[in-house]
Amino acid sequence: MALTNETTMAQNHTRNAATSSDYRTMRGYLFVLAFGGAVLVMAGVQTAGLLVSQRLVADSYKVLQRQLSASYERDVAGVLEHQLAYLHMLLRNPAVIGAIRRGDREALMREIQWQYELKRQENPHVEVLHFHGPDNRTLLRVHQPENFGDDLTTLRPMIADANRTRESRTGFEIGKNGISYRAVVPITDGGDHLGALELGINIAYFTERLAEIFDVQVGVIFQGAAMQPFVAQHGDTELLPLGNDSFAFSAMDALVREAGRHSQQSRANLIPFDYQQKRYVAHKVFGINSYLGEKVGTLLVVADVSEQVEGIWRHTMWSSAGWLTLLMLLLFGQYRIFSRMQASIHKLAFYDQLTGLPNRSLLLDRLERAVLNSARNGEYLALLFIDLDNFKQLNDTRGHHVGDSLLQQVAERLRGCVRASDTVARQGGDEFVIVLEGLSHELEKALLQTHSIGEKIVAVLNEPYFLEDDLEHRCTSSIGVALSIGGKVDVDELLKRADISMYQAKAEGRNQVTFFQSTEAGIP
């Protein structure tokens, strides 16, 4: 009996040991399966995260490209309008017309020179003011009065065309000094055609504005055929071939030259590339066209996206780490990081990095909604275009960091002058825009409301600023105002009217508010 019990116990012990071994083996299999499943899920999450990151980076490139194109197009349109207005203003002077009729260069120079110098102070990139006779011969170069009498029929087809058709001509042109945006208007008096008047602004005006607003580097790529007038006078030693019959000036920044080479190897408008261990993206922003609409060159904008790309990828890589057993927490953490990434890109796309104010893109969106709201509720809205007077002098004498400090303080003061429901935006440089909604249904009351706020802004911005090293600085402002009701004026026209009024405020002595005067009923 004892032997039987011992045998049974031994058999039971053997079975239990086998069962225990089976359980251990099963647990091992389950652990391996669970671990493998977790790794697969994590890998799937990681792959999805990387794909989403790539998409977010690409979307941020496209947002920047749209902003650059919109800014460039608006600048060209604004320059064109101001050029034509300036030329027509000069030709309304009877003394100017009389000097042109007599061919009196000295009298013409006396009448024009001070106005040209004033224009140059307003915009140093104005480089050409040129009177042409009806035979396309130079009557007076205000910028180079010693050179006159040369026949430009062949060299300057824009002039010849304006004289032949007696119509205005505008567009980019490459001359002996490089590329500039030219406006040519016919000179007429009493039905007589007396020639043509030309104003030119160097393309650096547009490139520097883009560089300042978006913190990028900008260069110009030229088409080979368009460079013939320049090569004829200077040779090709200053030009750097980039391939595909395209050139850049050899003095161009090395980074932009590298971007130019990559851009000529790709048909895409967005070209990511690496340079000196950093990541950049080159944007082919817009065609530079002649007065005939022919492509003269292309603006190439280069943005450093190294930190943005590395940050997004770093967030994505680390977001997948964690406990393998807490997959739901991992997924939740990944979602939150993606949300933060999207919020970061949204801020980059729609807010000014220096002041934290809405940028041009968000301003246009809010202004479009404001116009729709005005049409729906029948209330006036006002657009205030604010430009700081003599801001460039502070930047040039004290440095950009001091100018940046002033802009930040101006932004804070503007926020304090309006309601939370109003929009304060930075247009770029030292230009700010305010959108006032929900004004009175009555024109007189709306004008009083807007004028009160405008005068408040003028007074507040005129108070002293304390910058670096306890530097006390005063800065006045010029404000142009345009009103609209019922959607009668679209966004572009409203911005244009406020811009014109701002320049009128500057012309009338600065440090004041000027309203746009319209002939439309119900709109001042």
At 5 the pLDDT is 44
Residue 18 lies in a domain: no
Judgement on whether residues 397 and 313 belong to the same structural domain of the protein? no
Judgement on whether residues 345 and 236 belong to the same structural domain of the protein? yes
Helix, strand or coil, per DSSP, at residue 502: helix
Max Cα-Cα span within the chain: 146
Residue 156 lies in a domain: yes
Domain of 135? Answer: 57-322+337-349
Judgement on whether residues 389 and 267 belong to the same structural domain of the protein? no
Residues designated catalytic? 430
Q: Are β-strands 381-388 and 295-304 bridged in parallel, bridged antiparallel, or unpaired?
A: unpaired
Residue 330 lies in a domain: no
Number of domains into which the chain is organized: 2
Residue 19 lies in a domain: no
Is residue 109 within 8 Å of 145, Cβ to Cβ?
A: yes
Residue 502 belongs to a domain with what CATH number?
A: 3.30.70.270
Judgement on whether residues 379 and 312 belong to the same structural domain of the protein? no
> What is the model's pTM?
0.56
Taking only the tens place, the pLDDT of each residue in 99-108 is: 999 999 999 9
Judgement on whether residues 316 and 372 belong to the same structural domain of the protein? no
Judgement on whether residues 259 and 382 belong to the same structural domain of the protein? no
At 406 the pLDDT is 93
**End residue of a domain, out of 349, 384, 409:** 349
What is the side-by-side order of every strand in the sheet holding 278-289?
239-243, 246-249, 217-223, 295-304, 278-289, 270-275
At 193 the pLDDT is 96
Residue 280 belongs to a domain with what CATH number?
A: 3.30.450.20
Judgement on whether residues 317 and 406 belong to the same structural domain of the protein? no
Judgement on whether residues 64 and 182 belong to the same structural domain of the protein? yes
Q: How many residues does the chain have?
A: 524
Distance CA 181, CA 172 (A): 4
Judgement on whether residues 364 and 473 belong to the same structural domain of the protein? yes
At 199 the pLDDT is 93
At 521 the pLDDT is 45
Judgement on whether residues 62 and 195 belong to the same structural domain of the protein? yes
Judgement on whether residues 233 and 105 belong to the same structural domain of the protein? yes
Distance CA 211, CA 106 (A): 40
At 174 the pLDDT is 77
Judgement on whether residues 291 and 434 belong to the same structural domain of the protein? no
Spans of the chain, pLDDT less than 70:
1-61, 175-177, 224-240, 242-252, 285, 307-348, 518-524
